[in-house]
Amino acid sequence: MSEADKEGRRNDILAAAKKVFSRKGYHATTIADIAKAARLSYGSIYWYFDSKDALFHALMESEGQALRDHVTHALTHTPSHGSPVAPFRAAVLTTLEFFESDRALVKLLFRDSYALGDRFEKHLFDIYEGFVGDVEKVVEDAQRRGLIVDAPARMVAFSVGALVGQVAHRRLVTDDGLPSAEVADFVVSLLLNGLLPR
């Protein structure tokens, strides 16, 4: 197989694994389940991943990077001059849309990662850290321009991350019927009305 074919096969395995893990949970999933979903032989999975743990580890890394890429792209293509509303909204909306377009990912993040110990919790932490780092830059830029209060930028960014994470989780377990854009507008309004300089 060419390197491109190998990479394609690896991605197919990760996609199948995400579906099975999200449906059955980490502990109940077997390599045989994943092989069946990927339409591959049991042994083929081991050409790419040493174990179920290694496969889940790679899946979490891949999904975390995909989210980071989406947020970075949104922020890169959003004007940052003037009000901080646009970049905040871009980060929040992109994150909500990413989660809501892929409910299997949210199940993995909010159900399985917490239950699997330190190694997998680190993936969740890394995903949050990436999001928080992007938001922190938006906060620092708005603070330099005197548009929001002079509070520790990292703390503000973590607060945004926590709020978005909880909203995403709630929308997974309870469909409120609201479009992502409306939720993003509410979150940004809530945040900025609490951050306006006095």
Tell me the one-letter amino acid at 188: V
CA–CA dist 94, 75 (Å, integer): 9
For residue range 73-131, list pLDDT tens digits in order: 888 888 766 677 888 888 888 888 888 787 777 777 666 665 666 767 777 778 778 88
139 in Cβ contact with 148 (< 8 Å): yes
Backbone torsion region of residue 148, taken as left when φ is above 0, otherwise alpha when ψ lies between -120 and 50, otherwise beta: beta
For residues 50 and 2, the model is more confident at 50
Range 16-32 burial, b when 16+ CB lie within 10 A, else e? bbbebbbeeebeebebe
CA–CA dist 190, 154 (Å, integer): 18
DSSP label at residue 109: I
- For the whole model, what pTM was predicted? 0.76
Nearest to 187 by CA among 165, 152, 64: 165
Structure tokens at 87: 């970049």
Average pLDDT of the chain is 84
So what's the pLDDT on residue 172? 72
- Ranges 2-11, 63-72, 120-129, 174-183: which has the least confidence: 120-129
For residue range 33-73, list pLDDT tens digits in order: 999 999 999 899 999 999 998 998 898 888 888 888 888 88
110 in Cβ contact with 169 (< 8 Å): yes
Checking if the pLDDT of 31 tops 90, the result is yes
